[in-house]
Structure 1
Amino acid sequence: MRITARVGVLVIVVIVNSLVYMSLRQETYNANKLQRPEDLEVFGRLKRIEDQVHKIAKFIDVKDKKVKEPVVKQKITKKIEVKKLYPQSRLFSSWGAELTEEEQMEAERQFQEYGYNVFLSNRLPVNRTIPDTRDHRCTLKIYPNDLPSISVVLIYLNEALSVIKRAVRSIIDKTPAHLLTEIILVDDYSLNEDLQLPIDEYIGLINKDKPGLIKKVRHKRQIGLAKARMSGWEAAKGQVVAILDAHIEVHKEWAEPLLARIKADRTIVLSPVFDKVRFDTLEIIKYNPSAHAFDWNLWCMYESFRPEWYKMNDPSEPGKSPSIMGILVADRQFLGEIGVLDEGMTIYGGENVELALRVWLCGGSIEVVPCSKIAHIERAHKPYSPDLSKPMIRNALRVAEIWLDEYKSNVNIAWNLPLKDHGIDIGDVTERKELREKLKFEE
């Protein structure tokens, strides 16, 4: 109100001064351009007054507009800090910073139950793209058209359904249809609700488009890894059987290099190269080809290939290996001829080393095939057995008793056990020793 009143007064002053100024200018003109000094002085002073009044009026007008315009308050977005509920959990060391407290609770619960990031897995595409980590020379290889057929066996116990779906989808998408006989899902007595009706519905959905492609073997009690793999082998119909974990994704052209090697020599037992899938971010970490060896604990580890492999200077070529890690690909009949796996093994560990010893002693061989790659989730912990040391020791002693003769005491020493009367029940080994005698002609 004050500014408006002031503007009104100034407007009157401007008008009066303007009239005086115009009157004087007119009189000067009418008086035949009267140029008296006093007239010119008055004329100049009035002109300066008018200019100053205009400037003040303009300034007040601007101020008046600013007062009248509504004030727009700037919206400030404050980032809400979410409390970290599990600062010591391995799951959240490099993942999950954006999760709400409720989401953190769900992710941690699933992590403890499965040993990897199920929360993230459930939100990834079933057919996600994974990087091709093969050596460039693998892409140049040409394989025979008449390769043997393959049955893929996936073993699981309380696995996440989304992980199994991703494994199945990758095998279907990346295995030539004319080579893939079937995918056999072996359930070692899972109790998860997702692995009851939901997985059956998923199998039915696939079989609707591809009749008979997916088969399921479900055990009525938990029988352990070796027996579960045996049941998968028994159900297989393909010429070659690939026995894999269910928490995997196969790479492009994973099957062809394996099938080509077995076509060339049916007594070779093969392993692909495993890329690591991180348990927290589920990112793929490239692993370079290595042999699979074992120590006196009869526990597998990565080791260098023999010197001649490195002399070839071609990392796409297969390399001989003392053992396998557990995942294996073999001629189905040859595997049966040498006794498949020792069903006397319990829970986990040792069955792969036992098979390796038998393969080499029976005239076969083991190779790692770099051009066949499989991405494998490495769990942060194995929830189905928090303490694996007991079954591992027991299974190692069983292998030693059957196959190592005078060297079996080295296994006791490695596990820091008495050479005699260690008190550990290794089960009945009669049948496996009879198998050894039966296969003796191959040694």
Structure 2
Amino acid sequence: MKVSNDLPTTTVIMTYCEEAWSTLLRSVHSVINRSPPELLEEIILIDDFSERDYLKQPVDEYMSKFPKVKVIHLKERHGLVRARMVGAAMATAQVLTFLDSHIECTVGWLEPLLQRVKDERTNVACSVIDEIDSINFAYTRVDANLIGSFSWSFAFQWAVMPEHERERRKAPSWPIRSPTMAGGIFAIDRAFFYEIGAYDPGFKIWGADNIDLSFRIWMCGGQLEFLPCSRVGHIFRNGHPFTFPESNIKQTFHHNTLRTVEVWVDEPYKQVFFDHVPEMKGVDPGDLTERRAIRENLECKDFQWYLDNVHPDHSKPDFKFKAKGSLRSRRYPHLCLTNMAKGRIALLDCADVQRNQVFFYTMRETIETDGFCITNNDDQLALGSCHTNPASTFKHVKGNQIKEISSGKCLGIEDETTDVLFEQCQSNSGNQRWMWENYFDENGEKEL
């Protein structure tokens, strides 16, 4: 990838909240040490109302050694989105580069980002995100042949680069067009950032901002890319060092996602979101007048255009089902099948409305949850891709057995542990009888 001699300068915006001292310093030093001085206009550090003493005056004193570093201490908690907006409003450079506060920039990380923004001001450039171990800080280069995608609950996820993108790229250094971005590390023209609505000020604390911005970039005339020549390491932490409103990360994330869906996603795909996240039905997302005006005033493309032109390889959602909702044991009617993440499924107490207890029995006779399919792994239930490998298919009649077609085994329950497994079918076994919350006829009409 060739780099010009007259690249635009950038303001690096880095927000932090309860960050570890050494991690914060590592992040800032890597930006200073590995960015050409003539390209780095300033680093704006936004302290999002941290409570730890070392993140206040000690940070000010330490960073005073670096003329290009400005530290802002917010007087109340803003959350990632609004804290970044404070930094963006202060920025003076042509390009805004947003970074998390637990990263390490590598040599040559900045120039490719600025080059792509210089090439076309509507390009939004992302670094390939390498992994830094949260325990020993070991740095691992990741496969650059990935793109950002999303599940039908509209959560970010990685996906393998599709064949059409592989064919378009003529060299390993070529940018990778991506439908979505991870959100923590990217560069964007400052004017273009504000033209497409910056960040949604109605978002709370953290979550879904990357999906919201990704949709707007593509639908409103921009292009989103990962650059293999730019690499930044990122510490993927277990949990968050900061708190969420009412200590509810899930509710906060869903609130933000709901705002995105209500503005940027059209029917019938909007209903797909509510099928996957039923607890958000009837929830007030707040005032969306200004956000909807952005889409209308910029004459942005619709969501079907986005799927057809930007993400044609995305799995097509089902709009009709044989059954959907919670999947309850008839032997233990207080227990429901539950997606425990990381490929695990268990029986837990049924909740009134809970996303990880929503399962779909599709017209293809697969059983899916949050974009994954139930498979048989040596008679253990597992979740796997519905597309890279042939998914298990099942036969089920309302209130009766769920029989895997390929093995001939039925979904059952171990009495002593209530573990769920595949076992030999027994017609008189109450442990093998299941009831979905909702059943539908062949026309997709709900059965009474």
Offset, 1:234: 1.0
Q: What are the equivalent positions in structure 2 for 1:290-329 lying under 5 Å apart?
A: 290-311=146-167, 312=169, 314-327=171-184, 328-329=186-187
Offset, 1:313: 6.2
Which residue is equivalent to 2:278?
416
The alignment partner of 1:402 has SS state of helix
Which residue is equivalent to 2:391?
none
Deviations 1:123-177 (A, max 9, x none): xxxxxxxxxxxxxxxxxx4411000101111111011121111111111111001
Contact 2:130 2:232 in 1 (8 A): yes
Q: Choose from 193, 199, 202 the match for 2:62.
A: 202
Question: Sequence identity of aligned pairs in percent?
Answer: 37
2:100 is the counterpart of 1:256: no
Which residue is equivalent to 2:295?
436
| Structure-2 separation of matches of 1:234 and 1:430 | 22
Offset, 1:397: 1.2
Amino acid at match of 2:94: Q
Amino acid at match of 1:314: A
Amino acid at match of 2:42: E
Cα distance change on mapping 1:220 and 1:393 into 2, 3 Å: same
2:116 is the counterpart of 1:242: no
Q: Choose from 269, 281, 288 the match for 2:124.
A: 269
Offset, 1:387: 4.5
Contact 2:19 2:241 in 1 (8 A): no
Offset, 1:354: 0.8
Deviations 1:403-430 (A, max 9, x none): 2132212111111337x53xx3322111
Q: Choose from 8, 11, 14 the match for 1:154.
A: 14
Amino acid at match of 1:216: V
| Structure-1 separation of matches of 2:277 and 2:300 | 32
Q: Choose from 209, 222, 227 the match for 2:77.
A: 222
2:24 is the counterpart of 1:168: no
Which residue is equivalent to 2:43?
183
| Structure-1 separation of matches of 2:279 and 2:270 | 12
Offset, 1:442: 6.9
Contact 2:17 2:241 in 1 (8 A): no
Which residue is equivalent to 2:199?
341
| Structure-1 separation of matches of 2:216 and 2:15 | 22
The alignment partner of 2:99 has SS state of strand
The alignment partner of 1:341 has SS state of coil
Q: Choose from 238, 254, 264 the match for 1:393.
A: 254
Deviations 1:74-101 (A, max 9, x none): xxxxxxxxxxxxxxxxxxxxxxxxxxxx
| Structure-1 separation of matches of 2:290 and 2:103 | 34
Q: What are the equivalent positions in structure 2 for 1:107-122 lying under 5 Å apart?
A: none
2:221 is the counterpart of 1:366: no
| Structure-1 separation of matches of 2:9 and 2:277 | 42
| Structure-2 separation of matches of 1:373 and 1:387 | 33
Deviations 1:35-56 (A, max 9, x none): xxxxxxxxxxxxxxxxxxxxxx
| Structure-1 separation of matches of 2:103 and 2:274 | 34
Q: Give the unaligned 5+ runs of structure 1.
A: 1-140, 208-212
Offset, 1:330: 0.5
| Structure-2 separation of matches of 1:436 and 1:150 | 27
* Structure number with bigger Rg: 1
| Structure-2 separation of matches of 1:231 and 1:370 | 30
The alignment partner of 2:279 has SS state of coil
The alignment partner of 2:97 has SS state of strand
| Structure-2 separation of matches of 1:164 and 1:239 | 25
Amino acid at match of 1:186: I
Contact 1:325 1:352 in 2 (8 A): yes
| Structure-2 separation of matches of 1:241 and 1:185 | 13
Contact 1:396 1:411 in 2 (8 A): no
| Structure-1 separation of matches of 2:151 and 2:123 | 22
Q: Which has the higher contact order (CA 8 A, sep 6+)?
A: 1
The alignment partner of 1:440 has SS state of coil
| Structure-2 separation of matches of 1:188 and 1:415 | 30
Aligned length: 295
What is the TM-score of this pair, normalised by structure 1?
A: 0.64
2:251 is the counterpart of 1:405: no
Q: Give the structure with the larger strand fraction.
A: 2
| Structure-2 separation of matches of 1:315 and 1:147 | 22
Q: Give the structure with the larger helix fraction.
A: 1
Cα distance change on mapping 1:384 and 1:441 into 2, 3 Å: closer
Contact 2:221 2:300 in 1 (8 A): no
Q: Give the unaligned 5+ runs of structure 2.
A: 303-448
Offset, 1:321: 0.4
| Structure-2 separation of matches of 1:413 and 1:347 | 25
Moved over 6 A (4+): none
What is the TM-score of this pair, normalised by structure 2?
A: 0.63
The alignment partner of 1:405 has SS state of coil
The alignment partner of 2:130 has SS state of strand
The alignment partner of 2:66 has SS state of helix
Which residue is equivalent to 2:87?
232
Offset, 1:217: 2.2
The alignment partner of 2:84 has SS state of helix
| Structure-2 separation of matches of 1:271 and 1:293 | 14
Cα distance change on mapping 1:295 and 1:442 into 2, 3 Å: closer
